[in-house]
Structure 1
């Protein structure tokens, strides 16, 4: 309450100054304007902030948000990121039928451009594999996937307490969401 009064003080002073300088009708108008200003200050603050995009967590890939949401609601950000990463890894393992290798190695192999061989299938994007764009997507997915597990997942799993802000943890979840979408988009190519 004291903070609100302190914030309103300049406006109240302006109202009082104008009351001293103006006639009765003008003073009444100024008081009404002043009261309007006081009533709308919070709305002005909210509406005059920069209009920037936000990352609504409930729009992340379901593999990520369904596992993270209960932990996020409990303000357990580190656990939310770890749970989401584990789910993405589990889905990648299931899609490839591989449970014999850690997530980083699996990502590097899954998106590798080499031909698949027995027991080591690959994930492939649709499109012409001879184009620079296709090759860039394949390589980009490989390194993004490995990085998602090396950076946020390993930190979340091996540190007692990670001092991530809400924004930082949300960005890690967003990275995992992008990865989940890439994994889901790809088809599995097995050795013939």
Structure 2
């Protein structure tokens, strides 16, 4: 046992704890994860992230995929339709290592949200096929990373004019 413990401590394989995922993701997934319901854990985490941002932005008027597409699209926010925007001047080509300014990053975040909804959330919601622990972990990790990116974004709202 001592040899095993020493070998484990010297291992090049990093330790991994799903409890270190983004708080919104792990809070929604934990109860299902610990009972080995990996598909349900992924579904609940994906739903929780969308609900979290819909509530923060006051956008319960739109379906999930459309919400992400509108919220992360390029352009100015409209009345009642705030946007999440990567911080910094749009023309800054050196910040965050973005070639072409921040517009490509907005598109990438939009594509990531849409892709996760279509390939992970919808599959976890509309099928009954259980995921393996590895498959579930990978999907939760993708959502956790996405959640951390969103946390770095600024919320931009349309400017209100007097009388409106």
Q: Same fold (TM over 0.5)?
A: yes
What are the residue-to-residue correspondences of 1:31-110 with 2, within 5 Å? 42=4, 46=8, 51-110=12-71
Distance 2:91 2:6 in 1: 54
Report the equivalent of 1:157: 125
* Farther-moved stretch of structure 1 (53-62 vs 128-137): 128-137
Report the equivalent of 2:162: none
Larger Rg over CA atoms: 1
Post-superposition shift, 1:167?
1.2
Distance 1:180 1:48 in 2: 32
TM value normalised by structure 2: 0.82
Structure 1 runs (4+) greater than 6 angstroms displaced? none
TM value normalised by structure 1: 0.71
Distance 1:128 1:52 in 2: 40
Maintained 8 Å contact 1:92/1:183: no
Post-superposition shift, 1:77?
0.2
Report the equivalent of 1:119: 80
Report the equivalent of 2:146: 179
| Structure 1 residue runs without a partner (length 5+) | 1-38
Which secondary structure does the structure 1 equivalent of 2:155 belong to? Answer: strand
Root mean square deviation, CA, Å: 2.0
Deviations 1:40-85 (A, max 9, x none): 7755875686x23354211110000011111110000001001111
Deviations 1:95-133 (A, max 9, x none): 211011121111111111111112221111211211342
Report the equivalent of 2:134: 167
